Amino acid sequence: MNNPLMAVLIIEAVTIVVMLLLLLWLVRVQLKIKHDYQVLNDIVHSNSNDIAGLCSAALMIDNRIATVDDRIAATDGQIDNLAAKITEAAQNDQSSSHPYSGDIRKVRSGASINELMQNSGLSHDEAALLIRLHGSKTQS
């Protein structure tokens, strides 16, 4: 009777030791997995912070680009205004540099000697000379 009971007790003792060893191994693996999880969680958190910073920087750059675009548009408008003023000033200089420039334009548009005499205060000879110099070939 002693022998079979002793065999059962030995088998149970070996089973308990094996189970304890397996339990220790599982605890060790679980701690390693927990550590790995914490490391990965820290990496993900760090990456999230980096992405948030990059998004914030991108928004700031977008705002700066919009401001620069607005400034460029305003500068283009000012350049166009200045170009128009320069063109206008150049035309005024050309038209005011010659005392008969307005009368020459009238002659080129078909004004007669009488019209020039009445509207511009020119003498008959001055009006005739302007028509001969600047009029079309068919006028005389």
Predicted local confidence at residue 138, as pLDDT: 57
Q: What is the pLDDT of residue 15?
A: 97
Tokens 């006028």 belong to which residue? 139
Cα 66 to Cα 87: distance, rounded to the nearest angstrom: 31
Delimit the domains of the chain by residue range: 1-33, 79-140
122's CB contacts (< 8 A; 6+ apart) are: 103, 116, 130
Rounded average pLDDT over 48-70 = 95
Q: Give residue-wise pLDDT tens across range 8-31.
A: 999 999 999 999 999 999 999 999
Q: What pLDDT does residue 140 have? A: 46
Q: Give the global pTM.
A: 0.44
pLDDT tens, 73-119?
999 999 999 988 888 877 766 655 567 778 888 888 888 889 888 88
- If one counts every other C-beta atom within 10 angstroms of the C-beta of residue 127, the result is 22
pLDDT at 136: 75
Query: What distance in Å separates the CA atoms of residue 134 and residue 130, rounded to the nearest whole number?
Result: 6
Q: Is the pLDDT of residue 70 over 60?
A: yes
